[in-house]
Amino acid sequence: MKSVAFLLCLLVATGAGAAEPSGNDRGTTPEYRIREVRFAGDLAFDTDALKEVLKELKVRRWIPGVWTRRPRYDARALDADLARLRSFYLSNGYFDARVGIGDVTFDGREATITLDVQSGPKFRARPVHIEGLVNERERIVTGPNGDFPVHHLCKCLLDAKRIAEARGGIDFAAKLAISEANGSAPGSEGNWVDVTAQVRTGSPYVVGRISFSGHHRFNDSTLRRAMALQERTLFDVGKLRRSLARLNRSGLLEPIAADDVEIQRNPADLTADLAISLRERPRRQWSLSGPFVVTPFTGSLQATISSRLPPWGRAVFEASTYYVTFSLIGLPNPLVRLLPFGSRPRLSPLLVLERPYLPGQALFSGFALSPTRPARTMLTSYVVTHLSPGALASDTSVPSTLLVPVQTFHASVDGERPSVGFLICEPPEPRLRWLRRGAAYAADLALGAFRPF
């Protein structure tokens, strides 16, 4: 979400900058939380509908009066939500809408933001022409009763983006041009406009050199095995997203975002070099897990401390991909003394050498060895790990958000038509997303009952 917000704020075409409290030094400026976001002007929509558009600035009241999440006041987040509001009005046919910052007031450590909205008239759109699609000269999408067909249009543009990126078109771009219609539609009233979408796929690129930086304990070969995108192959952006997801799934690195990837284009030979910045996770980790109240039915507490081995060896014998874990199972819980049916478990020390599941090295990872456990137990641990939702997770990539600049029909003095904002095309959510996520959690809990370590 942060990377999308950063991208949006960079591409905001209009709108005033957010006013921040003055301070002698930026580093000494205190942190402010947003108390409320208000709307003023000609809205054309209910304030509740507009607040639902907000992502970064939305105040979420999980339990009214008890638990309220107030986001941090941040100029970049404010610009990102301004872009979302402009896209909301554009998608509903308000092509002349203006959204900006009306006022920002501070009370203590809380900020109240007032956004000024001038929706302008609602326009009706004639059939939208999409030019530049691959293997198609032109496509036409329409909406009922002259409504702007934003959903159908975004679907076509996202599909075109996915096809182009799978063929190496990393410079895919689209834009909308809105012009006054010549005459009104017969038998209807209202303002009518012509909308044309232009798509530019760009030349196909091939992956040049893939380099990693920021890692000190892992070999490049371990990281490259997790990459779905390989050198000297067509630059498939979907495979790049899957590669980042697999690197994040390894558990060896801090989460990698889009901002950590730099693409260096070489137009002369149509190759693109990839530079990925990494951050290793701490070498030592500790945890305390178990039920809140220890009973014979819920098990006991477990304290664990693990340390990654030094950077020795290569391939399956690369020591830095192994952990030595020492745990104590059966720690007494102070609440047990308050329960007549509580039991005091006995301490059971356990020493384990484990290699977590690594994408690209499935058969040679996801196992644990212990001198105090029988071979059947260690084999069970290996099977359960490879049947877990993390190991079986699909590598299907989620398309990225598409920002489509919109040019209005109002010409300036020099004849140029300025951009009025961006139409934000969000990829549709996967079907049955909540059901799939719940099933993954249930499967993880069920397999956890058979996990011997």
pLDDT tens for each residue of 399-423: 788 999 998 865 554 555 566 789 9
* In a shared domain, residues 90 and 145: no
Task: In whole angstroms, give the CA distance from residue 88 to residue 53.
Answer: 7
Tokens of 278: 């990494």
pLDDT digits 0-9 by tens, 196-238: 999 998 899 999 999 999 988 888 999 999 999 999 999 999 9
For 80, half-sphere exposure in the C-beta direction (CA atoms, 13 angstrom radius) is 18
Question: Which of 28-37, 239-248, 322-331, 387-396 is the least confident region?
Answer: 387-396
Task: In whole angstroms, give the CA distance from residue 276 to residue 261.
Answer: 5
* In a shared domain, residues 169 and 221: no
* In a shared domain, residues 237 and 311: no
- For position 158, what pLDDT does the model report? 93
Q: Are 97 and 86 in contact (CB under 8 A)?
A: yes
Point out which residues pair with 404 in neighbouring strands. Answer: 423
For 122, half-sphere exposure in the C-beta direction (CA atoms, 13 angstrom radius) is 14
- For position 386, what pLDDT does the model report? 85
Task: In whole angstroms, give the CA distance from residue 38 to residue 20.
Answer: 17
Point out which residues pair with 272 in neighbouring strands. Answer: 207, 265
Asked whether residue 350 is assigned to any structural domain, the reply reads yes
pLDDT digits 0-9 by tens, 73-107: 888 899 999 999 999 999 999 998 999 999 999 98
DSSP state of 415: S
Asked whether residue 430 is assigned to any structural domain, the reply reads no
Question: Which of 133-137, 142-146, 198-202 is the least confident region?
Answer: 133-137
The total number of residues shown for the chain amounts to 453
* In a shared domain, residues 127 and 143: yes
CB atoms within 10 A of CB 126: 16
- The C-alpha torsion from 91 through 93 and 97 to 99, rounded to 10°, is -20
Domain boundary among 277, 297, 316: 277
* In a shared domain, residues 41 and 114: yes
Instruction: With H, G, I as helix, E, B as strand and everything else as coil, classify residue 387.
Output: coil
Distances (CA, A) of 281 to 90, 214, 253, 364: 43, 11, 5, 21
Asked whether residue 362 is assigned to any structural domain, the reply reads yes
Q: At CA 200, angle to CA 199 and CA 206, rounded to 5?
A: 140
Asked whether residue 437 is assigned to any structural domain, the reply reads no
pLDDT digits 0-9 by tens, 310-360: 988 888 899 999 999 998 876 655 554 555 544 555 677 889 999 999 988
**Sign of the four-CA dihedral 428, 140, 130, 137:** positive
Asked whether residue 440 is assigned to any structural domain, the reply reads no
* In a shared domain, residues 182 and 211: no
Question: Which of 60-69, 180-189, 194-203, 348-357 is the least confident region?
Answer: 180-189
- For position 27, what pLDDT does the model report? 46
* In a shared domain, residues 244 and 322: no
Task: In whole angstroms, give the CA distance from residue 420 to residue 260.
Answer: 30
* In a shared domain, residues 304 and 389: yes
Asked whether residue 308 is assigned to any structural domain, the reply reads yes
Q: What is the mean pLDDT of the chain?
A: 81
Task: In whole angstroms, give the CA distance from residue 399 to residue 158.
Answer: 8
Question: Which of 19-23, 119-123, 218-222, 324-328 is the least confident region?
Answer: 19-23
- For position 249, what pLDDT does the model report? 87
Q: At CA 162, angle to CA 247 and CA 403, rounded to 5?
A: 95
Predicted confidence (pLDDT) at residue 292 exceeds the cutoff of 70: no
* In a shared domain, residues 304 and 373: yes
* In a shared domain, residues 139 and 245: no
Asked whether residue 436 is assigned to any structural domain, the reply reads no
DSSP state of 260: G
The residue range of the domain holding 73 is 2-19+30-118
Identify the CATH number of the domain in which residue 43 sits: 3.10.20.310
What is the domain count for the chain?
Answer: 4
* In a shared domain, residues 309 and 390: yes
Domain boundary among 371, 394, 417: 394
* In a shared domain, residues 81 and 137: no
> Phi/psi at 187 (nearest 5 deg)?
75, 20
Q: Which residue, among 305, 313, 318, 328, has the nearest Cα to 252 in the 3D structure?
A: 318
Q: Which residue, among 150, 128, 125, 147, has the nearest Cα to 139 in the 3D structure?
A: 128
Question: Which of 16-20, 64-68, 166-170 is the least confident region?
Answer: 16-20
Q: Are 380 and 452 in contact (CB under 8 A)?
A: yes
Task: In whole angstroms, give the CA distance from residue 211 to residue 234.
Answer: 17
pLDDT digits 0-9 by tens, 27-54: 445 688 898 899 999 999 999 999 999 9
- For position 22, what pLDDT does the model report? 47
Given the structure tokens 């203590």, which residue do they identify? 108
Asked whether residue 415 is assigned to any structural domain, the reply reads yes
Instruction: With H, G, I as helix, E, B as strand and everything else as coil, classify residue 134.
Output: coil
